[in-house]
Amino acid sequence: MRGLTEYLNAEPGYSVLSTHYDGVACHAGGHYRIKGLRDMDREAVRAELANSSVPGPEIIARHMDYGLYPADPSEACPREALDICRLLGMPQKLMMKIQKFY
């Protein structure tokens, strides 16, 4: 992915790449990311999940900010999947396996 980014940077025109790979943005002309769950009040969402009959993914999606914002190219890709698993109450045994490879 980094090679592709460097190549496209040298060509005329614009390219948009979407990835979860770290380090790709260091080779890009600009770096944007979605805000995602960065500003989410996790305790409020936990309470909403506990007190609602609405499926958990729908509740979390309502709190997701899909807007694009400038980001520092050295910033690591967000890894919000683990937070989402925790919010959804995934079994501890599964969480331990996920964290092993995270």
Global pTM value: 0.64
Per-residue pLDDT 10s for the chain (102 aa) are 778 888 888 888 888 777 777 777 777 777 888 888 888 898 999 999 999 999 999 999 999 998 888 888 777 777 788 888 888 988 898 888 888 877
Interior CA angle at 61 toward 92 and 41, to 5°?
A: 70
pLDDT reported for residue 2: 77
Collapse the DSSP code of 92 into the 3-class scheme (helix H, G, I; strand E, B; otherwise coil) and give the result. Answer: helix
